[in-house]
Copies of this chain bind each other. A is one copy, B any other.
């Protein structure tokens, strides 16, 4: 367990001050944005009845905030829109770090942790734009070819906005950091890179024959690491 830390735009608060492995903490807004944009989804934490609740969800960054969405009935959205603080963590794993002993094993990764209170979008145009952002976050180029959301669909979707005012990044790269004394051991050590790969697109039932797999699906890939 290691902790990310440090606000991108303010002096460190107690919870964002670097405690563990500060050499892995990064401070710049570009790094925050790049990780949020590449991470396909995130985990959102809230406090409910005094205990933590964490669930996965899709996010999308737009400028200096992220959008979250879901059904108005979803418990974690009900909690969040009530004005409580939330925490959003987005993590990309880049590789397995294979050392000569258990202690020095690790993962190479890039993670962002955000803290704050959400703003609930009410304006229909703003909500529709946020929904397009969420689609674009997952598949760039797709929103332009879709049927637009109906007023009813927009009304039925809750969209929450979190400002990137308290954010921190943690990144680990490079080889295992075994003690020198271990390096003569006859043990292979190194990094096994990991990345997201795609399989063959699976067409949904009912797609008309003239609707072929579009480029934004055929060439989909996350930003290279």
Interface residues of A (CB under 8 A from B): 1-4, 14-15, 19-20, 40-41, 43-58, 68-71, 73-77, 85-89, 91, 93, 95-96, 98-103, 105, 107, 109, 111, 113, 115, 131-132, 134-135, 138-139, 142-143, 145-149, 153, 156-157, 175-176, 178, 180, 182-208, 210-214, 217, 220
Contacts and interface: CB of A to CB of B under 8 A. Distances in A.
Contact of A203 (B88, B188, B194, B206): B188
Nearest to A145: B187
A175 B96 CA distance: 32
Given A45-B52, A53-B87, A89-B43, A75 B199 contact: no
A105 B131 CA distance: 10
Give the top 6 A-B pairs by smallest Cβ distance, nearest first.
A1-B70, A193-B199, A197-B197, A45-B52, A183-B206, A45-B54
Contacts of A198: 192-194
A77 B1 contact: yes
A215 to B, nearest CB: 10
Contacts of A178: 204, 206
Nearest to A156: B103
A138 B52 contact: no
A49 to B, nearest CB: 7
A225 B90 CA distance: 22
A50 B47 contact: yes
Given A4-B55, A101-B148, A175-B205, 8 more contacts: A1-B44, A1-B69, A19-B73, A40-B93, A44-B54, A186-B210, A194-B196, A194-B198
A196 to B, nearest CB: 6
A186 B204 contact: no
Nearest to A131: B102
Contact of A53 (B45, B55, B93, B182): B45
A47 B51 contact: yes
Contacts of A71: 1-2, 20
B49 A47 contact: no
